[in-house]
Amino acid sequence: MKQKKGFVLRTVCGENVIVGEGLETVNFGKLISLNESAAYLWKKAGELGDFTSQQLADALLEEYEVTADQALADVERIIGEWQKVGIVED
């Protein structure tokens, strides 16, 4: 899995928001606001290029005090949201 080109994380009025850059990606129905841990995962996914749920869960474990099961569940949930709004692809 990887992030779709043209979507970047920005801070807007103190909120982490993924926005589309360029006219072909602009769809205000697809803007997504991220909490601190989700923004961290988005950045990690970008660094990895191609990523798996397990890789992001491992990164979450390194940064936050959560169990392995909770980290994987949280990662799978956020990836599902990203897929739903079309900002990641296989």
Whole-angstrom distance, CA of residue 34 vs CA of residue 32: 6
Give Cβ neighbours of residue 19 (< 8 Å, ≥ 6 apart): 7, 8, 10, 12, 31
Rounded to whole angstroms, the Cα distance separating 14 from 72 reads 27
Determine the pLDDT at residue 21.
Answer: 76
Both tokens of 5, joined, read 């080109």
Summarised one tens digit per residue, pLDDT across range 14-60 is 999 998 876 454 555 556 889 999 999 999 999 999 999 999 999 99
Query: pLDDT at position 20, please?
Result: 80
In this structure, what DSSP letter does residue 14 have? T
Task: Find residue 3's DSSP bridge partners.
Answer: 88
Higher pLDDT, 67 or 29: 67
> How much is the pTM?
0.86
